[in-house]
Structure 1
Amino acid sequence: MSTIKKVNLGNQGLVVPNIGLGCMGMSQIAGNDIYGKADETESIQTIHRSLELGGNFLDTADLYGPLKNERLISKAIKGNRDAYIIATKFGFEINDNEELTWQFNGKKEYVKKAVERSLKNLGTDYIDLYYLHRVDPNTPIEETIQAMSDLVKEGKVGYIGLSEVSSETIRKAHNIHPLTAVQSEYSLFERSIEEDGIIKTLQELQIGVVAYSPLGRGFISGEIQHPQDLAENDFRRTIPRFQGEQFYKNIELLNEIKLIADERKITASQLALAWIASKGFLAIPGTKRVKYVEQNIEASQLILTTEELNRLENIIPLGTITGNRYDESGMKSVNL
């Protein structure tokens, strides 16, 4: 029996659980275990356990691996495809040798190539939600969205979305084809899409918000107490939020969040997920372990009081500097 709440994602008809499963950490990216080593068997068990609890929304991308994460999901959903809602992304260019070029490609021809490759890797003939992962600055967004719209007409894609885009880009895209969702990093430690007016735009246009890294890339779990706790090849070492003096300032903020969680006898992670759910957004915390997917889905049922919500937002109010969420080069590709 499902133990998870369902919500409308946007106004185009897609109904999803209010907590999904981010699958990125289940695979390497370009040969690196950026979130620590993953075990394929345990990852598949995590996907299956999520489904048992009603968490049938899986988020992936062709970037992850590249391509390996989609293939892992194919194994997990085999024989039960229609029970899942699959969201994947394209836009980081991958060549015919399955290598990342680290360029962005939103050209019409590449859209068609990318979707066929994802369909094959996922072992399916349709993708529920298809995102442009990052805007290609050399291709008009209208061209990319028109190509994605064609995929909907062909029945290969159910709904379309964007990731890490500005209000201006959202409006341009939505004029070509209705967007169902926009994905962006969003958590108690990262609220820039509120400050930039992006959430306001999405609410005006009735486009769903999908919050990735809702636990601050694992920061809110409390398992990382020192920068040295991260493996040498963990990409979080490159993120200003996890570095030096800023790291320890953020630990102080986290300790205040934990006080509220302790009062409710829940984890700080569950509290952070309930905060996002209270806004009507879809959170997609990433995990590759069964125990964490169970804890995350428990959070879908939590109702926070107005007082608790206010206390949380007063700990890290808008404008609080917690450190950039990417290094300098990564920041250049968000909110375009």
Structure 2
Amino acid sequence: MSNEKIAKVVLGTDGPLVGVQGFGAMGISEFYGETDEAGARATLDAALDVGVTLFDTADAYGQGANEEFLAPFVKAHRDEITLATKFALVRKADDPSYRGIANDRAYIRAAVERSLRRLDVDVIDLYYMHRRDPAVPFEESVGAMAELIREGKVKHLGLSEVTGAELREAHAVHPISALQSEWSLFSRDVEKSAVGAAADLGVALVPYSPLGRGFLTGAFTDASADLSGGDFRRFQPRFTGENAKRNADLLEPVRAIAEAHGASLGQIALAWVHQRSQEHGLTVVPIPGTRKAERVRENAAATRITLSPAELEQLEPIAGQVAGDRYPDMSSTSAARE
């Protein structure tokens, strides 16, 4: 496989220069079954080797453990990487299933201090609001985030899972560099309003789960049968039962195109996400996650695959045919507020 490094792009109109593909670190700490620390550290190194510079975490991943895990890697390569983390998802140690949302000024100021300490850095390059509480006006939440920039604790601001109208409203309070939302062959609700708003405002799109949490790679066909008990995909509606069976059939055109390119299914799924940049006129930097160094190199090679108009047309109907929601509870997603 080629050792060629991926290209670089500017994240938004005023953001940092980053590799055109980033790395989502969520699965290193939890969610996807048993973890392997040595393998995860080798994977981070491999990502940097192929030109990945945007590394994405959150205070909610492992309830802080993910940030702590990344700290030594960040320290060793601080001048080479763009560090992104997120706040707003509140969890409880005694209730693993609990998810709250906090967007108030006091919480934000406390959260950034915790993240700075766990990551062992003086400044966070890109600080996201992980989920939005509509009861808290952007004047308070984004205003508080802007204070962190003025204080030198944060360099750039991002939002996750907001609608187009919300992105415009927030951007009016302070410029937003990046919008992170799920975007893949299986999940295209972000296109309803957020993509257009991002293009108009010069905000970059950072798609999470661009590989459909592994389903688009063909790595599993039914989460309840194929994945371990600690894997949260076992509780996502589209990956189990009859939904999984129906959705597995949707991979046939992806498989055919992959064969024509001598590529993997995952590379075709990533190539499709990257070409959204041309389709919608905005910067797109997907952040696939993996625990395997060889998979990082495979994902990077996808940035050099170009799908033809005919191939894109074959892939176009897939998302509209997917059975099941992205989460058991969609209330905190932008789709619920459209």
- TM-score normalised according to structure 2 size: 0.91
- Letter of the 1:286 counterpart: G
Distance 1:258 1:77 in 2: 37
The aligned counterpart of 2:80 is 83
Contact kept in structure 2, 1:93 and 1:104, CA below 8 Å: yes
Distance 1:150 1:247 in 2: 45
1:185-200 → structure 2 map (5 Å cutoff): 185-194=182-191, 196-200=192-196
Residue 66 of structure 1 aligns to a residue in which SS? helix
Contact kept in structure 1, 2:247 and 2:322, CA below 8 Å: no
Give the length in aligned residue pairs.
326
- Letter of the 1:109 counterpart: A
Distance 2:220 2:93 in 1: 38
Contact kept in structure 2, 1:9 and 1:181, CA below 8 Å: yes
Is 1:48 aligned with 2:45? yes
Distance 1:244 1:39 in 2: 29
What RMSD, in angstroms, separates the aligned Cα atoms of the two structures?
2.0
Is 1:204 aligned with 2:205? no
The aligned counterpart of 1:304 is 307
Residue 219 of structure 2 aligns to a residue in which SS? coil
* Cα 1:188–1:96 shift into 2, 3 Å: closer
The aligned counterpart of 2:326 is 325
Q: Structure 1: which 5+ residue stretches go unaligned?
A: 29-33
Distance 1:323 1:150 in 2: 40
Distance 2:160 2:83 in 1: 16
* Cα 1:321–1:42 shift into 2, 3 Å: closer
Distance 1:151 1:230 in 2: 41
Contact kept in structure 2, 1:66 and 1:100, CA below 8 Å: no
Contact kept in structure 1, 2:159 and 2:178, CA below 8 Å: yes
Provide, for residues 148-197 of structure 1, a one-character-per-residue CA deviation record: whole Å limited to 9, x for no partner: 00111112111101001112211110110011111111100111111x22
- Letter of the 1:207 counterpart: V
Give aligned-pair identity as a percent.
Answer: 41
Provide, for residues 19-39 of structure 1, a one-character-per-residue CA deviation record: whole Å limited to 9, x for no partner: 1111000002xxxxx212111
Residue 332 of structure 1 aligns to a residue in which SS? coil
Provide, for residues 195-235 of structure 1, a one-character-per-residue CA deviation record: whole Å limited to 9, x for no partner: x2221111111111110000011101111023300222321
Distance 2:6 2:12 in 1: 18
Contact kept in structure 1, 2:181 and 2:206, CA below 8 Å: yes
* Cα 1:311–1:264 shift into 2, 3 Å: same
- Of residues 10, 21, 24, the one that matches 2:23 is 21
C-alpha displacement at 1:54, in angstroms? 0.8
Q: Structure 2: which 5+ residue stretches go unaligned?
A: 278-283
Distance 2:327 2:203 in 1: 25
- Letter of the 2:259 counterpart: D
The aligned counterpart of 1:287 is 290
Distance 1:101 1:255 in 2: 37
1:107-122 → structure 2 map (5 Å cutoff): 107-122=104-119
Residue 291 of structure 2 aligns to a residue in which SS? coil
The aligned counterpart of 2:281 is none
Contact kept in structure 2, 1:27 and 1:38, CA below 8 Å: yes
Is 1:136 aligned with 2:133? yes
- TM-score normalised according to structure 1 size: 0.92
Distance 2:93 2:310 in 1: 54
Residue 213 of structure 2 aligns to a residue in which SS? coil
- Of residues 248, 252, 255, the one that matches 2:245 is 248
Is 1:220 aligned with 2:216? yes
Distance 1:96 1:112 in 2: 21
